Structure 1
Amino acid sequence: MDVIDFHCHFAGSGIPIDASRGNPPAQKEFWDGVSRRLTQEEALLASLQTAGITSRVINTSLEFVLAPGEEADLDTVRRINDSIADVTHRHSAVLHGLATVDAYRREASARELTRAVRELGLKGVFIESAKGDLLPDAPEARPTFLAASELGVPVFLHPVPDAVLRQKFGRTGKFSERLSRSAINSAALLAMANAGMFEEMPNLNVVVTALALGGLMVGECLADGAQIGKHAFPRRNVYIDTTGLHSVLLRAAVDLVGADHVVMGTDWPVVTETNLPARLTNMFDQCGLGEADRDLIAHANARRLLHV
């Protein structure tokens, strides 16, 4: 099976990484392991064989680079993009890179995205779903989204932690982090739809994670919902990844936006998977998907988005 993993994190050896920031001390050993894999090119390449996949689409989350509340300076962002470009150029047959920008820095971020795509050859952009009280519909983010639309590259809208929501959801135990990230990821996309960004930027393609499905399904199913489903105008701009790799999530994503708008994603190296073709085959069987839809989700949608 030809499989492209759209949701993967990597930074390279020259980028200071600490994935354990903001996580409970009891999880430090796990996140230290994630940090090591984020900087080890050999671990990234070996993971392709372990997972049984064709290629990975890699990005660097600023969450792994900055302390909570710390601003990313332009030099740091440029070094990240140069690092991603370097590794993807050397392994272009199996790796594709997304640029990293702080989308909420107005024209400076738009210029860096343009450089990363036109000069470095990166295939899209990784954007965090929120920054403080700002969501992607904020005026501060508009130049970056306009640049992505004009460049014709996809935006991967990634979940971020939220201290207020995490505290509010604290009584849910281990689910507090996932619930807070889910709320932010879905709120980011719903804010964009509500602000009319997809009508303004018809060439803008946005990928969210399966964590956003709860909010998106509620928004779609209510009478006054966001209207991003199969028969609504913005549907053509919205893609959902398969993070979690569960047949119920896959069925929900396909029902919401169609198999032609779902991409395979694992969240490596936070999540490590083995023999993904077998795992995907089982999920596809449970969902009753035909060969054409299986190919779309496994690789074809990602190839179309990335122009590869």
Structure 2
Amino acid sequence: MKLIGIEEHFLTPEIKDAWSAIGLGASDPSVAFHGGPLEKRLTDLSEERLALMDETGLDVQVLSLTTPSLHDLGPGSLDLARRANNALAEAIARHPDRFQALATLPVAMPDEAALELERCVRTLGFKGTMLCGRVGHRNLDHADLLPVFQSAAALKAPVLLHPRAPDKAVRDAYYSGFSPQIDAAFSCFGLGWHYDAGIQFLRLVLAGHFDRFPDLQVILGHWGELVLFYAERIANMDRATGLKHTMMTYFRRNLYVTASGMFLPHYLEQAARIVGHDRLLFSTDYPYQYRTGGDARRFLENCGLETSDRQAFAHGNWERLTGNMS
């Protein structure tokens, strides 16, 4: 059974240098997480990555630039994005059966980002894009960023919403007071950035993006970035939103959910209960959640799904989602 991981990350030395050039590490603690052995795995798009894919049982990786992507870079991010996307296209050409890609966008320039997404989809054959939360101080629902979502909807290109570190004021208020190491872990991969990603999705719903673009499809990792576990409470907002549909309708019509290496069957069951089995996607969150010994394949085989649902989870839902892109 073909197994496609749709949230598998990469990084280029050029982009890491661009983060350093603007001192991004001082405002985003996640920048420090990409060194050492992780950096080696992130930057490799060849034999070592393929060997580790084989070891865990993954047939295809859908490659995406790791957080915080280009969201805090200015006009220079356009050339960075194009070079990163061209490098991915070259990697795919070398291994067309093993790699796919999500576009890296210069989101600080939304009009140019929309055009770059179109180039990536129509010329390079990419499968969508990934956004990492706020763009500078703008949430993703900000009116300035509408061209990006308009382009994604027109192309029928899914948008993966990836976590990033919360704003410094939020980190200081809720995630500080321990050691610098604990503060960084607590505000990022421990909890903070998952709340941030889930909130970005809810902001898109509440801002009416899915009424404006009813075909827009968004993906949340880590089994829905906490949102699905509070779906019943979130549904209570129906009385206040003034939207065309209920919150649960947007969950079931516009949201896909992926595992991100969290191989827990009861999380899968909750996600399926809210969005349906036809909206579950597989991923390992390489290299952050990477584990040896056939772990990805073993989870698929023991996740509790019937054969048809397991095939959909492994590859069928992704292929259907990306099969009608224009």
Name the TM tier (shorter chain): 0.7 to 0.9
Where structure 2 has 5 or more consecutive residues not aligned to the other structure, the ranges are 239-245
* Equivalent-residue separation in structure 2 for 1:103 and 1:225 (angstroms): 30
Q: How far 1:35 moved relative to its partner?
A: 1.0
Q: How far 1:216 moved relative to its partner?
A: 4.0
* Equivalent-residue separation in structure 2 for 1:16 and 1:131 (angstroms): 16
Q: How does 1:207-218 map to 2 (within 5 A)?
A: 207-210=219-222, 212-218=224-230
Which residue of the partner structure matches residue 241 of structure 2?
A: none
Q: Does 1:191 align with 2:196?
A: no
* Equivalent-residue separation in structure 2 for 1:139 and 1:152 (angstroms): 20
Which residue of the partner structure matches residue 264 of structure 1?
A: 282
Match among 221, 224, 230 for residue 233 of structure 2: 221
AA paired with 1:6?
Answer: I
Q: How far 1:135 moved relative to its partner?
A: 1.8
Q: Would the alpha carbon gap of residues 223 and 91 (structure 1) be closer, same or farther in structure 2, given more than 3 Å must change?
A: closer
Q: How does 1:111-130 map to 2 (within 5 A)?
A: 111-130=115-134
- C-alpha contact 2:64 2:130 (8 A) present in aligned 1: yes
Paired residue secondary structure (1:266): coil
AA paired with 1:82?
Answer: N
Q: How far 1:212 moved relative to its partner?
A: 4.0
Which residue of the partner structure matches residue 293 of structure 1?
A: 309
AA paired with 2:86?
Answer: D
- C-alpha contact 1:3 1:298 (8 A) present in aligned 2: yes
AA paired with 2:153?
Answer: S
Paired residue secondary structure (2:289): coil
Give deviations 1:151-182, integer Å, cap 9, x for gaps: 11111111111233333223584433232111
Which residue of the partner structure matches residue 10 of structure 1?
A: 10
Q: Does 1:302 align with 2:302?
A: no
Q: Does 1:165 align with 2:170?
A: yes
- C-alpha contact 1:11 1:83 (8 A) present in aligned 2: no
Q: CA RMSD in A?
A: 2.7
Which residue of the partner structure matches residue 238 of structure 1?
A: 255
Match among 187, 193, 204 for residue 176 of structure 1: 187
Paired residue secondary structure (2:236): coil
Q: How far 1:247 moved relative to its partner?
A: 2.1
* Equivalent-residue separation in structure 1 for 2:30 and 2:59 (angstroms): 34
Paired residue secondary structure (2:42): helix
- C-alpha contact 2:228 2:271 (8 A) present in aligned 1: no
State the TM-score, normalizing by the size of structure 2.
0.82
Q: Would the alpha carbon gap of residues 105 and 24 (structure 1) be closer, same or farther in structure 2, given more than 3 Å must change?
A: closer
Q: Would the alpha carbon gap of residues 177 and 215 (structure 1) be closer, same or farther in structure 2, given more than 3 Å must change?
A: same
Where structure 1 has 5 or more consecutive residues not aligned to the other structure, the ranges are none
Which residue of the partner structure matches residue 101 of structure 1?
A: 105
Give deviations 1:231-276, integer Å, cap 9, x for gaps: x245221011112222232122111111111111111012213311
Which residue of the partner structure matches residue 51 of structure 1?
A: 56
Paired residue secondary structure (1:294): helix
* Equivalent-residue separation in structure 2 for 1:217 and 1:195 (angstroms): 21
Q: Would the alpha carbon gap of residues 220 and 201 (structure 1) be closer, same or farther in structure 2, given more than 3 Å must change?
A: farther
* Equivalent-residue separation in structure 2 for 1:257 and 1:190 (angstroms): 15
AA paired with 2:298?
Answer: A
Paired residue secondary structure (2:102): strand
- C-alpha contact 1:104 1:140 (8 A) present in aligned 2: no
Paired residue secondary structure (1:17): helix
- C-alpha contact 1:88 1:96 (8 A) present in aligned 2: yes
Give deviations 1:33-65, integer Å, cap 9, x for gaps: 11111111222211221111211100113626x
- C-alpha contact 1:264 1:298 (8 A) present in aligned 2: yes
- C-alpha contact 2:77 2:106 (8 A) present in aligned 1: no
* Equivalent-residue separation in structure 2 for 1:90 and 1:74 (angstroms): 25
Which residue of the partner structure matches residue 34 of structure 1?
A: 38
